[in-house]
Structure 1
Amino acid sequence: MHGLLALRDFSTAKTILHTSVLSSLMSIACEVSAAEDIQFNTDILDLNDRTNIDLSQFSRSGFILPGTYPMQVQVNTLVLPEQRITFYPPDDDPKGSQACLSSNLASQLGLKENKLTELSWWKEGTCLDIRSLAGMEVSGDLGTSTLYISVPQAYLEYNAQNWDPPSRWDEGVPGLLVDYNLTAQSINQRNTASRTDLTGNGTFGANAGPWRLRADWQGRIEDEAVNSRKNLEWSRFYAYRAVPSLGARLSLGQNYLYSDLFDSFRFTGAALNSDDSQLPPNLRGYAPEVVGVAKTNAKVIISQQGRVLYEALVAAGPYRIQDLNDAVTGTLDVRVEEQDGSVNTFKVESSSIPYLTRPGTVRYKLATGRPSYLHDGGQGSVFGAGEFSWGVSNGWSVYGGGISDSYYKAFSLGVGRDLLAFGALSFDASRASATLQDDTLSGASYRLSYSKKFEEYDSQVTFAGYRFSEKNYLSMSEYLDARRYGERVGGSKSLYTATFNKHFREAGLSAYVTYTDQSYWDRPRSNRWNVSLARYFNAGSVKNINLSLNLFRNQEHNQRTRTQNNNSGMYLSLTLPLGRSGTLTTSANNSQNKSTYSARFSDQVDERNHYQLAVSNTSIGGYLSHTADQADQADLTFSASRQENNHTSLGMSARGGATLTPYGGAGHRSAGAGGTRLMVDTSGVPGVPVRGYGNPTRSNAFGKAVIPDVNSYLRTAASIDLESLPANVEAAQSVTQLTLTDGAIGYRTLDVIAGYKAMVVLRLSDGRVPPFGGTVKNEKQQETGIINDGGSVYLSGIRPGGMMVVSWGGAERCTLVMPANLPDDGLATTLDLPCQMLIPDNAAPASGIRLTNTEITPS
């Protein structure tokens, strides 16, 4: 007992005390069936008073006293969120105890529909009768606060690692949200007017049940000495929700047509689409990515038809943007604004992989509404569009669709084939007819797509495709542009695109290649390719040296004037590890017939702060990124450079958001505008480090923290970083899991106890002490200690003037009030506190237990 006084860590002390109590009980308990009572031989307990013991919770093997307990639920190997589980005596065993599986909990088991109809209930229809599912077993363990449920796998819906069936999805709680991304740049050049611009985009939103209401905005303010321009606009207002029974997403309002057969355009109306994100990860679609090389610290803006999809500051050197939504289809516009004032633009085709569907399933997309331009409002006639894909067998898929309004009609039909070891292939043909000013244009378009992962060669063709369109073929967006401008503009002729990567592991070399070639009937042809080669190797005592080469070219061919515009470049770099975590990179960059040579040093101050210092033959600059560590902060990025000819530039970006629910609110960093997030309540305790899949963030002054890096329809875990807990804080529950639907605001509470920790000796009003094994709980019903011999207990969560309740014999017996002034030396002082009786201590031991001094026998 005196050894406990020297312990400085409550978790260690509490573990030792639990182990002492449980090991003593295990050593004296006999092996009896769950239905039999247990007697304890108290002679072998090393206690001063063997008659003052409360072992009621251990009186039967596996027995849990009737009542309600917060417990984590484990179904087979899957851990569900903590829930309040009630134990009732079953009808055929008044002295027994059985967990009540409510209808809400039963819906989370993931049972197949035919099994749901077989369920029967007891306790007036409120508790599941596990006998209605042959082979199902349920058991509770108070030691781990876990309810174990075993269900035969044949009864359960399909599930995959980190993915749950729809019965376990969580729609979240009602709430409001705002996400923003702001970028400011100031450029000053000798003999030229200085320029300052502020750009931003973001989302305002509200959640109500399964519905998500969103409003996207974007804006730009440019301030020059002789001119100033301001532009702020709402790019779309829309509402959407998941329809799990259909595996689809319903959206209403202003949106973009997301199609695998037809190009994208903006419209106002309604859409019902099969949602690939609701599928297991291995069955989901292809998300586009954008690669390139920045000459200086630069701002990259990715947009589609005027709507900004992505905007960020990137450091000088190669960049690769891979976090675009897989729902994005069609052509993307990329704009790279360098800090030296130059601007580079190009297009990226976000084509889909071959159109294949799982055997026996049908995917579909339906939409109707009125086409509208971002700046001009509604235009065009009401249209309807629909497409489908049917998995005929293991190897074949058939797909097709159509889109039509009063003056335009297009139909498409195709077939996909899984070639197994040779990859996947699809081919489709489309035909369109459009009427423009009494002139009818009709033509066809053909597309071939291929994808293959060559595992034996450690390489992959992510996407390769070719599309050819006849001169009189108009896509829907080309038709809308022709109506808007009064004449046809452009007209796609052919499109080649391919993405390939390969790893040569023995040589430590990796290669990545992308290529796009786009030609038009009456516009200049353009193509773009990018090649990246990287090799890691060791040289003597220097490990992990990286040598990389990036080659790129953007070309535009004007067949009428027989001219060609080229923007090509090369980037060669050698990176050496330097210091504990730093790297030194020397590079040569040639672009637009201009060569630069630079050296850059980058390092991490800690896991949240990363910086880069660069010097070249034409400039000097720096880059700093900061990831928020508090719940009310945003991610920040700073950049500065000085070019030749007295050209200076400064840049800053802030990316964050705020979420408000009926349970509280918090600021936070932002992972995606209007996206899914999880609010964690640390029981009102501030400064608790909470981690998702990224860096941890600390709860705010109200004990709330928002984790934004949450994937929709994938199992998400949130945990407390126990290594970084403040000294006066203890986590009684450190992990929670859930699966959120798209755009949901999840809410979970983690059991955290804050306050002083000290050894306390409890005394009753008549001088006696509470029995060994009694429990102490605070005002939040959190267990703060277990009583040891002589009424001593090591308590956590002590607050000046706070009150706690002591229980034994299955009832709350007395209360104790903490001193208003607590000693500063904590464990060095033992507190003697009176415990005021609530009910007389004359109740017999709980049913099912008898204490003897000589032997253990079943009752």
Structure 2
Amino acid sequence: MHKKKIAIAIILIFKYHSSLAYSDMEFDNDLLFYSDGKSSKDINLKYFSQDGSGVLPGTYKVDIVINNENITSENIKFIESKEKSGEVYPYITKEMLSSWGIDIYFLGKQQCLDECEKIESIIPDARVKFDHKKMRLDISIPQIYLKQPGIYNTVPDKWNEGINSILLNYDYNTNNQKNNNKYYTSSFIGINSGVNINAWRFRRDFSWSKQSRGKQQFKILNTYLQKDYSVLQGGELTLGQANSDGVIFDSFPLSGLQLASNDSMLAPYMTSYSPIIRGIASSPSVVTVKQNNNVIFRKNVETGPFEFNDIPQAISGSDLKVEIRGSDGKVQTYNQVAASVPMLLRKGRARYSLAIGKYRADDKSMFRESPIIQTTLGWGFGTETLYGGFQLSKDYNAQLLGIAKYLETLGAISFDITQANARILDKYGNFDNKKGQSLRINYSRNFEQTDTNINVTGVKYNSHDFYNFSETQNLSKINPINDTHIKSRISISISQNLNSYGSLTLSGSQDSYWGSSLPSQNFQVGYNLLIGTVFMNLAAGTSKSIYSNKKENNISLMLSVPLKNGNASANYMMANSSGKTQNQIGISGSMFQHNNLSYSLYGSKGNHSNNAFGFNTNYHSSMGDIGGSYSSSKNSRQISANGRGGLLISRYGVAMSTPLSFSGGNALIRTPNAEGIQFNGNSYAKTNRFGLGVITNLMPYSKNTISLDVNSIPDNVEIISADKSVIPTKGAVVLSQYKTSIGNRALISISLNNKAVPFGSIVTLKDDDNIQTGIASENGQVYLAGLPMKGVLNVSWGRTADKRCLAKYSLPESTSPITVVNAICYQ
């Protein structure tokens, strides 16, 4: 026994040093004589003494990780090196590397991976390491050989178009009211449906509604086919019924073809404008750019002038603080204004749209459906952006030209002018030619000294005869032109941070009309303050319609005080509308482990109404949301119910979920036969009885990390890796599949001819590729997870038949996390 322990210690020492020296160290089988006797001659450890080995030659499904980033899972063939016995390397082709985001054109014309077996011999300074326990292949490659995203958020080659699937969202609401013995009921169902086939997205939206004493209404809202593309700085092709791009011209419903830019494909610094940072370094320096005291950019520069035009800043935020810290100890600092308007683009950025089709009217008998061509283009030149476009139809044409400018002291401003010519019906049923101009201005500025943000939009119609395209289509004999026509429009919003004194927001708009001296107005002011744990909101507003000179004044006060348990709060609300005051007190909160159930109870009393009480509740689950409300007073009662969710159908089965994202990305989580596994960052979603779960609202064209909540994994489930990364395209359903071993965990001692199987033998469950591979220890013991109660094990310590055997095992009923059993191997 003493000699056996010495032998084992020596083996461990050699194993440790082999891991340090990699392939320079090998096991000496003679050292195993004291533990395995004559059987030590049969022990084959050459595949376990080399770095990156640990498996026999063959094909295995492994996770591909490049520079610590999870890329994909693929079947990889492992072959034995011709140069050194026992060395096993993954056989990887150029096509594989290209699909993983590696630029194979950097490798040279004479180099061909198809004729080589090691990445290290093709890519200088590359390193490969295989972890057989996690079935993970780590590849380290110099950054220069990786495909660069350029202006894109991620490399287009890595975009995942997702799996073929059918998507369905539903939104249901029903309401029943009784007021002074009069009843009113209404019901609504909204459906968003879609089919994903490769990169194509087919979408159809429709709704059903019914009101008391009214007819049922079923309406098809939009039907279109869509596909994205990465050329021309990224964009989307849309065929069918959709709304036109509304960045420059007013949006309108269209049936036809559209091409338009898609900003979500681009890197954040390209999707909106930020100023160019320029300066002069008196010595080798570090340039740091901060916004709201957060470092958003840092780079080393040499002595002399420098210029940066890729600062990833939030445009509507505060000013930029630039610090130049030289190696000579000199520090220069200055502020640069941060502001933007919708048309302001970075240098070299193009934003475009093209629409060909016809106006889509809700009622063809009342409105025209004229054919139209619309095109727009904006181009960034630095601190200026030029933009424009035209609309051309049978009875309408318009031309727009504008400029946006960034001013370091004043902020961002844009100005454009539109000339329109329309042939429309007047109120006498005659066609009349109308010509007019509109002027539009946008302004944005943040004053960092006071932390004040201002946004202003103003539109001026120079004459009564200016009409946009939608207005001309909505005029007919049944709905003729009238004298009340928009004359000017202005809107303004101001936000003011008061630090410990809260925050203040103001917003307002006013529309004036030709043929009317009554403007339409809407003004709001809000104030928020947190005092300790007590939250207060004070709001006031006034509005006036063009059809009435009477103002509607509103004011409200809300107080919220959290209760001791932290999941509930006591609330007070006072609301006054045109002299009618309502006071309400109540309690709101959430229940259960993941706060799935939210609720509120309240009672109210008013000076012009009866006392009332009510409640509302909503339950969130992995299959959607359901909720309801009830309120009652002396003369009235109201009951409502609602539900919303999604349904996903694919080759892997059916899964219900929260509403699917048609404008973002979705992930179908597959943990075969593992039920109830939850996901980090999404407390409501979990896998169903078939091991399927859905995560919605992923960022399209961006890297999203999906992590399983390891605390929710059942004891009989083994998952090798709980983290995956996905980059979905818009509307895609990407598959995130995890290797799961379902069953028991056991430590099995395997013997052959009354002796332990050779040290280093590979042990797998027969006829099951998903089970983990185990390696026998010096006494023939192996740990395996996900085992059924009975089965047959494949044991191999070489390639020939005399170095393989089969072992039947049977696990007893046990409450222990790990069962210890013996098994006899037969050849």
Match of 2:176 in 1: 186
Q: Deviations over 1:227-279 (max 9, x none)?
A: 13311111011000101123010000011112211111111100000111212
Q: Deviations over 1:538-570 (max 9, x none)?
A: 2xxxxx221211222322245xxxx41333312
> Residues of 1 paired with 2:544 and 2:175: CA distance?
29
Match of 1:250 in 2: 237
Aligned residues of 1:555 and 1:567 also touching (Cα < 8 A): yes
Does 2:804 correspond to 1:813? yes
Aligned residues of 1:119 and 1:128 also touching (Cα < 8 A): no
Deviation, 1:217, is 0.7
Letter of the 2:112 partner, please give it: W
Letter of the 1:594 partner, please give it: K
2:551 to 555, 566, 586: 566
CA pair 112-512 structure 1, distance change in 2 beyond 3 A: farther
Match of 2:502 in 1: 509
1:823 to 793, 801, 813: 813
Match of 1:638 in 2: 628
CA pair 283-123 structure 1, distance change in 2 beyond 3 A: closer
> Residues of 2 paired with 1:829 and 1:88: CA distance?
35
TM-score normalized with structure 1 length? 0.78
2:97 to 70, 90, 106: 106
Match of 2:266 in 1: 279
Match of 2:18 in 1: 29
Aligned residues of 2:101 and 2:155 also touching (Cα < 8 A): yes
Aligned residues of 1:115 and 1:155 also touching (Cα < 8 A): no
Match of 1:386 in 2: 375
> Residues of 1 paired with 2:33 and 2:247: CA distance?
73
- Identical residues among aligned pairs (%): 23
Deviation, 1:661, is 1.2
Counterparts of 1:65-214 in structure 2, within 5 Å, are 66-88=57-79, 96-110=87-101, 115=106, 120-123=111-114, 136-142=126-132, 145-153=136-144, 156-158=147-149, 163-192=153-182, 194-214=183-203
Letter of the 2:458 partner, please give it: Y
Q: Any idea what SS the aligned residue of 2:470 has?
A: helix
**Higher mean C-alpha deviation, range 574-583 or range 54-63:** 54-63
Aligned residues of 1:178 and 1:659 also touching (Cα < 8 A): yes
Aligned residues of 2:558 and 2:571 also touching (Cα < 8 A): yes
| Ranges in structure 1 where 5+ consecutive residues have no aligned partner | 1-19, 287-351, 539-543, 838-859
1:769 to 744, 756, 779: 756
Q: Any idea what SS the aligned residue of 1:229 has?
A: coil
Match of 1:856 in 2: none
Query: Matched residue pairs, number?
Result: 727
CA pair 481-120 structure 1, distance change in 2 beyond 3 A: farther
Q: Deviations over 1:465-508 (max 9, x none)?
A: 11111221111111111247452255322121233333233x15
Deviation, 1:390, is 0.8
Counterparts of 1:283-682 in structure 2, within 5 Å, are 283-284=270-271, 353-376=341-364, 379-393=368-382, 395-420=383-408, 422-436=410-424, 437-454=430-447, 457-461=450-454, 463-470=455-462, 471-483=464-476, 485=478, 487-489=480-482, 490-505=484-499, 507-522=500-515, 525-538=519-532, 544-558=533-547, 563-581=548-566, 582-606=568-592, 607=594, 608-617=596-605, 618-629=611-622, 633-642=623-632, 644-672=633-661, 676-682=665-671
Aligned residues of 1:28 and 1:44 also touching (Cα < 8 A): no
Does 2:220 correspond to 1:220? no
Q: Deviations over 1:661-712 (max 9, x none)?
A: 1222211111545753111110232222234x43242212221111123222
Q: Deviations over 1:340-392 (max 9, x none)?
A: xxxxxxxxxxxx94302221132210000011113438843311000001111
Aligned residues of 1:803 and 1:816 also touching (Cα < 8 A): yes
Letter of the 2:460 partner, please give it: F
Deviation, 1:783, is 0.8
Q: Any idea what SS the aligned residue of 2:360 has?
A: strand
Q: Any idea what SS the aligned residue of 1:777 has?
A: strand
Q: Deviations over 1:801-841 (max 9, x none)?
A: 3444344447993444453x74133458532233344xxxx
**Higher mean C-alpha deviation, range 85-94 or range 275-284:** 85-94
**Higher mean C-alpha deviation, range 481-490 or range 441-450:** 481-490
> Residues of 2 paired with 1:381 and 1:111: CA distance?
49
Deviation, 1:54, is 5.3
Does 2:791 correspond to 1:835? no
Q: Deviations over 1:509-564 (max 9, x none)?
A: 122333222222246532223222111122xxxxx221211222322245xxxx41
**Higher mean C-alpha deviation, range 600-609 or range 793-802:** 793-802
TM-score normalized with structure 2 length? 0.81
Q: Any idea what SS the aligned residue of 2:621 has?
A: coil
Does 2:248 correspond to 1:261? yes
By relative contact order (CA 8 Å, sep 6+), the higher-ranking structure is 1
Match of 2:303 in 1: none
CA pair 628-282 structure 1, distance change in 2 beyond 3 A: farther
Superposed CA RMSD in Å reads: 3.3
Q: Any idea what SS the aligned residue of 2:741 has?
A: strand
Deviation, 1:71, is 3.3
Match of 1:332 in 2: none
Q: Deviations over 1:441-474 (max 9, x none)?
A: 111111111223455544434x421111122111
Q: Deviations over 1:832-858 (max 9, x none)?
A: 233344xxxxxxxxxxxxxxxxxxxxx
Q: Deviations over 1:762-798 (max 9, x none)?
A: 233x222233344443413331644334223333212
Match of 1:240 in 2: 226
**Higher mean C-alpha deviation, range 401-410 or range 585-594:** 585-594
Aligned residues of 2:17 and 2:25 also touching (Cα < 8 A): no
Q: Deviations over 1:159-201 (max 9, x none)?
A: 799x422121000111111111111111122321x22211121
Aligned residues of 2:166 and 2:648 also touching (Cα < 8 A): yes
